[in-house]
């Protein structure tokens, strides 16, 4: 049977016409699917029983489900999401005192093979559909209310996969999440993180993306960056500077540079100076992130003292910088650690 969430609003009108029900039923159906996040036709109580029976006989709703979850001692919760074809992806709820951030995935696995990231060691199986991206947020919104009594306040596409290599589905998923007819979240509370696909960053500018953009930089030296991020071979730092400036010229949105500080890899004064030079060429701020070790790589995080000295070097040269402490490390839920261990 066909998944009814793959139909546009106009196509739902055609469905209702063929089923000989009044056109306003299409609007009700759309609201149940995207505004109320209905997971079955039986939930749609303002539709007649006969219409619901007809829908059940002709269509299905292939929802993402929670396969497992694990809570960190710091309150972070990691979820394994099961897709309708059996694949798994992971998402994370990260609470602070008065807000909750959801970290979601965009692909099953990843094709970029970043050497410090657990997901990079997984095979990319497929892209997530727009409804699967939406479902992660809908589920995490509900889980946030249950676990913390707080509404979801922010979303980061920093989970498994490279969002800009699944461009159409990611943009459609974000549209469903931000639409008044969907989850109604502000795009200013959404951040898409990319390893750096220059031409797609420019496309974000052309499409006037309203959400925030973060670049996983991790080194401002082409040789050093290519060693840990092979994508740099085809998307050099010079290409990224050009793309980010284009993005800013189109959207007016300052980019965030994410920089995992890895011991003896990218934490010396030369790398710090190169980061300053890179940052000075674009409108940006820098987030320094504690590196989270993974089983498949021998990298280690820099010491707290090294990270603080690195930050001071940037601050002294007028770069806006924040140090981000990792959350959920004890359950492999922190940045770079998602690898379907909950499966």
Q: Using one digit for the tens of pLDDT, what is the confidence trace for 74-89?
A: 899 999 999 999 999 9
**52, 110: one domain:** no
**246, 318: one domain:** yes
Distance CA 209, CA 207 (A): 6
**15, 152: one domain:** no
Distance CA 209, CA 250 (A): 9
Asked if the structure places residue 112 within a domain, the reply is: yes
Tokens of 200: 């797609």
Tokens of 216: 């996983």
Write the CATH number for 256.
3.20.20.70
Q: At which of 60, 89, 109 does a domain end? A: 60
Q: Using one digit for the tens of pLDDT, what is the confidence trace for 61-77?
A: 999 999 999 999 989 99
Q: How many CA atoms lie within 13 A of 340 on its CB side?
A: 21
Asked if the structure places residue 339 within a domain, the reply is: no
**34, 122: one domain:** no
Asked if the structure places residue 343 within a domain, the reply is: no
Write the CATH number for 25.
1.10.150.530
Decide if 90 is catalytic. yes
**12, 149: one domain:** no
Q: At which of 60, 87, 104 does a domain end? A: 60
Distance CA 138, CA 79 (A): 13
Tokens of 237: 């730092």
Selected catalytic residue, list 16, 63, 103, 335: 335
pLDDT reading at 330 higher than 80: no
Indicate the pLDDT class of residue 331, thresholds 50, 70 and 90: low
Asked if the structure places residue 336 within a domain, the reply is: no
Asked if the structure places residue 341 within a domain, the reply is: no
Q: Residue 19: give the domain boundaries.
A: 2-60
Asked if residue 42 lies in contact with residue 315, where contact means CB atoms within 8 angstroms, the answer is: no
pLDDT reading at 246 higher than 80: yes
Contacts of 20 (CB under 8 A, 6+ apart): none
Would the pTM count as exceeding 0.85?
A: yes
Distance CA 214, CA 193 (A): 5
**245, 279: one domain:** yes
Asked if the structure places residue 21 within a domain, the reply is: yes
**223, 75: one domain:** yes
With H, G, I as helix, E, B as strand and everything else as coil, classify residue 90: strand
| Confidence at residue 318, expressed as pLDDT on a 0 to 100 scale | 97
pLDDT reading at 125 higher than 80: yes
**130, 254: one domain:** yes
Asked if residue 292 lies in contact with residue 302, where contact means CB atoms within 8 angstroms, the answer is: no
**49, 85: one domain:** no
Tokens of 10: 């106009």
> What's the rounded mean pLDDT across residues 217-222?
97
Q: At which of 60, 77, 93 does a domain end? A: 60
**87, 205: one domain:** yes
Q: Using one digit for the tens of pLDDT, what is the confidence trace for 271-290?
A: 999 999 999 999 999 999 99
> What's the rounded mean pLDDT across residues 291-296?
81
Dihedral of CA atoms 20, 22, 26, 27 in degrees, nearest 10, equals 180
Asked if the structure places residue 256 within a domain, the reply is: yes
Q: Using one digit for the tens of pLDDT, what is the confidence trace for 160-215?
A: 999 999 999 999 999 999 999 999 999 999 999 999 999 999 999 999 999 999 99
Total structural domains within the chain = 2
* DSSP H helical ranges for the chain: 9-18, 24-30, 49-58, 130-148, 167-178, 198-206, 222-228, 237-251, 269-279, 304-316
> What's the rounded mean pLDDT across residues 100-116?
93
**109, 202: one domain:** yes
| Confidence at residue 294, expressed as pLDDT on a 0 to 100 scale | 80
Asked if residue 299 lies in contact with residue 265, where contact means CB atoms within 8 angstroms, the answer is: yes
Selected catalytic residue, list 16, 63, 90, 143: 90
For CA atoms 253, 35, 152, 194, give the dihedral sign: negative
**191, 317: one domain:** yes
Backbone angles phi, psi at 241, to 5 degrees: -60, -45
């Amino acid at each position: 049977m066909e998944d009814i969430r793959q139909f546009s609003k106009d196509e739902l009108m055609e469905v209702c016409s063929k089923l000989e029900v009044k056109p306003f039923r299409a609007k009700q159906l759309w609201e149940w699917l995207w505004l109320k996040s209905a997971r079955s036709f039986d939930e749609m109580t303002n539709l007649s029983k006969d219409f619901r029976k007809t829908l059940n006989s002709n269509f299905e709703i292939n929802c993402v489900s929670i396969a497992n979850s694990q809570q960190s001692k710091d309150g972070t919760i990691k979820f394994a999401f099961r897709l309708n074809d059996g694949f798994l992806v992971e998402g994370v709820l990260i609470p602070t005192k008065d807000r909750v951030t959801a970290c979601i995935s965009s692909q099953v696995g990843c094709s970029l093979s970043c050497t410090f990231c657990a997901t990079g060691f997984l095979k990319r199986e497929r892209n997530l559909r727009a409804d699967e991206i939406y479902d992660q947020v809908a589920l995490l919104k509900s889980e946030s209310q249950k676990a913390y009594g707080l509404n979801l306040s922010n979303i980061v596409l920093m989970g498994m996969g490279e969002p800009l290599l699944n461009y159409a589905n990611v943009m459609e998923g974000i549209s469903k999440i931000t639409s008044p007819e969907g989850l109604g979240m502000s795009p200013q509370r959404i951040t898409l993180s990319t390893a750096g696909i220059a031409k797609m960053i420019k496309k974000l500018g052309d499409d006037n993306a309203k959400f925030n953009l973060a670049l996983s930089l991790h080194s401002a030296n082409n040789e050093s960056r290519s060693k840990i991020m092979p994508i740099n071979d085809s998307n050099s730092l010079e290409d990224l500077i050009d793309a980010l400036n284009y993005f800013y010229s189109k959207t007016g949105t300052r980019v965030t540079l994410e920089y995992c500080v890895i011991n003896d890899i990218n934490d010396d004064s030369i790398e710090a100076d190169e980061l300053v030079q890179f940052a000075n060429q674009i409108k940006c701020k820098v987030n320094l992130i504690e590196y989270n070790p993974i089983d498949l790589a021998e990298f280690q995080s820099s010491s707290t003292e090294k990270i603080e000295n690195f930050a001071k070097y940037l601050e002294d040269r007028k770069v806006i910088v924040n140090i981000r402490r990792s959350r959920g490390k004890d359950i492999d839920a922190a940045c770079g650690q998602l690898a379907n261990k909950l499966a």
